[in-house]
A and B are shown apart, each in its own frame.
Chain A
């Protein structure tokens, strides 16, 4: 069972990581942020983000997954599913 505190901690951790990759302030990363909607989240930074996610959260991201993790909610859900698999 994942507590609300853990969920919100993960969300903040994710926003902070994305802010670092996209070179923006974390408060510019909305909770519904998507590839292409945020100007700094493009094809290049998307791949940087995938690599950073692997090392920060110890998860594996495959070629199939890369095209699914295109929004903050989908990334958040994927990390949760991997960590609690």
Chain B
């Protein structure tokens, strides 16, 4: 694969390196991968094929724009570590993916799209039974949400501006006999996708949902919050396109999240978020998981990144549970504790009894990622797992 390296106009600070690197995948379709040197001074691009010099120049200019936009005037974040259990001793340190794929326990359908077999499915059910118990402690009402989400509603909460790169659109053939017949006759999958002309498809009215809690906020929009506060829980598929960053079970296009969601006055949301964190810490200790909880920011796209990430960090709105991946000496976010202040309340007109906008927050767990981190730390064989997990797994 051809590679092209050049000096970054603005050195990328260490705290932004992985986030800038991730965004470079979206700069140009010629880019298959990107890396930034440890000192932040050099960008290396892996290209899908050789490209003419002029195109290379344009591509480099686009990369420089992204680097500058994301780094100029960036305020160094204050990283707050709430829990650090990364040093827990672990019985396993091998990359589990080859074993998971060869045993059929994980099956890759397409880039970022994976099916899980019986062992991992039952392991996720073990985690789920705990999360449901946890939800009960908060009297969280169970909900079921669709995989599709309204484009109109996502627009109301500025999602398109904040995360345009990761959207996954739902469409259908236009209601037109010629279009439908033509599609039926000629549609086939070619190298990069279906060969149907773009004009065959409808305008976008819905997308595949990028998060679970949004559905709850949308259902509460434009009216007073019943009872002045509520807790709810749901599990659902989430869809976030990550381009060349899609990688095994670590970063999937289609994944499932369990969320416990709080809506009400600020104290209600913040106290419950903290109580949930303390409860989850006890559970993760019982699991023996090596992890830390530290402040984080959402992966906003380039134009919004600097301001939004700095705001989230300054107000400590997001904390991630980052589990150790021993085989690569790295960590992976398997859950998060989030506080949105009155963002959704204001944009969606969810009001408290005093007429002020409701505050919202959620505790979210990426189920495939949690299972993946668990087998990274304890191996693929249930015999190597903590006894209480194995017992629950056996049913």
Could you tell me which A residues sit within 8 Å of B by CB distance?
36, 39, 42-44, 46-48, 50-51, 61-64, 66-67
**Chain B contact residues, majority secondary structure:** helix
A64 to B77, CA, bound (A): 9
B314 located at the interface, meaning its Cβ lies under 8 Å from any Cβ of chain A in the complex: yes
B343 located at the interface, meaning its Cβ lies under 8 Å from any Cβ of chain A in the complex: yes
Tell me the nearest residue of chain A to B313, going by C-beta: A63
A72 to B124, CA, bound (A): 49
The answer to whether residues A63 and B78 also contact, given A39-B346, A43-B343, A46-B311 and a CB cut-off of 8 A, is yes
B330-355 at interface with A (beta carbon < 8 Å): 341-343, 346
B307 located at the interface, meaning its Cβ lies under 8 Å from any Cβ of chain A in the complex: yes
A63 to B183, CA, bound (A): 54
Please state if A63 and B314 are interface contacts (CB–CB under 8 Å): yes
Please state if B314 and A66 are interface contacts (CB–CB under 8 Å): yes
Please state if A64 and B78 are interface contacts (CB–CB under 8 Å): yes
B307-333 at interface with A (beta carbon < 8 Å): 307-308, 310-316
A11 to B341, CA, bound (A): 28
Please state if A61 and B75 are interface contacts (CB–CB under 8 Å): yes
B83 located at the interface, meaning its Cβ lies under 8 Å from any Cβ of chain A in the complex: no
Please state if A47 and B306 are interface contacts (CB–CB under 8 Å): yes
Enumerate chain B residues within 8 angstroms of A62, measured Cβ to Cβ: 75-76
CB distance from B69 to the nearest CB of A (A): 14
**Chain A contact residues, majority secondary structure:** helix
Tell me the nearest residue of chain B to A47, going by C-beta: B307
Enumerate chain A residues within 8 angstroms of B58, measured Cβ to Cβ: none
Please state if A67 and B307 are interface contacts (CB–CB under 8 Å): no
Please state if A44 and B75 are interface contacts (CB–CB under 8 Å): no
B304 located at the interface, meaning its Cβ lies under 8 Å from any Cβ of chain A in the complex: yes
Please state if A44 and B314 are interface contacts (CB–CB under 8 Å): no
CB distance from A18 to the nearest CB of B (A): 16
CB distance from A84 to the nearest CB of B (A): 24
B227 located at the interface, meaning its Cβ lies under 8 Å from any Cβ of chain A in the complex: no
Please state if B342 and A36 are interface contacts (CB–CB under 8 Å): yes
Please state if B310 and A44 are interface contacts (CB–CB under 8 Å): no
Given A44-B307, A67-B314, 8 more contacts at CB 8 Å? A36-B342, A43-B312, A43-B343, A47-B306, A47-B308, A62-B76, A64-B314, A66-B311
Enumerate chain B residues within 8 angstroms of A51, measured Cβ to Cβ: 73
Tell me the nearest residue of chain A to B317, going by C-beta: A43
A–B Cβ pairs within 8 angstroms, 23 of them? A36-B341, A36-B342, A36-B346, A39-B346, A43-B307, A43-B312, A44-B304, A44-B307, A47-B306, A47-B308, A47-B310, A47-B311, A48-B307, A50-B310, A62-B76, A63-B75, A63-B76, A63-B310, A63-B313, A63-B314, A64-B314, A66-B314, A67-B316
Enumerate chain A residues within 8 angstroms of B304, measured Cβ to Cβ: 44
CB distance from B130 to the nearest CB of A (A): 33
CB distance from B96 to the nearest CB of A (A): 37
A64 to B310, CA, bound (A): 10
CB distance from B209 to the nearest CB of A (A): 23
The answer to whether residues A66 and B310 also contact, given A44-B304, A51-B73 and a CB cut-off of 8 A, is yes
A20 to B78, CA, bound (A): 29
A71 to B341, CA, bound (A): 16
Tell me the nearest residue of chain B to A70, going by C-beta: B315
B242-263 at interface with A (beta carbon < 8 Å): none
Tell me the nearest residue of chain B to A44, going by C-beta: B307
Tell me the nearest residue of chain A to B343, going by C-beta: A43
Tell me the nearest residue of chain B to A67, going by C-beta: B314
CB distance from A54 to the nearest CB of B (A): 8
A63 to B78, CA, bound (A): 6
A50 to B310, CA, bound (A): 11
Enumerate chain B residues within 8 angstroms of A63, measured Cβ to Cβ: 75-78, 310, 313-314
A70 to B372, CA, bound (A): 41
CB distance from B47 to the nearest CB of A (A): 35
A67 to B76, CA, bound (A): 14
Across the A-B interface, the 3 shortest Cβ-Cβ residue pairs: A66-B314, A47-B307, A43-B311
Tell me the nearest residue of chain B to A64, going by C-beta: B78
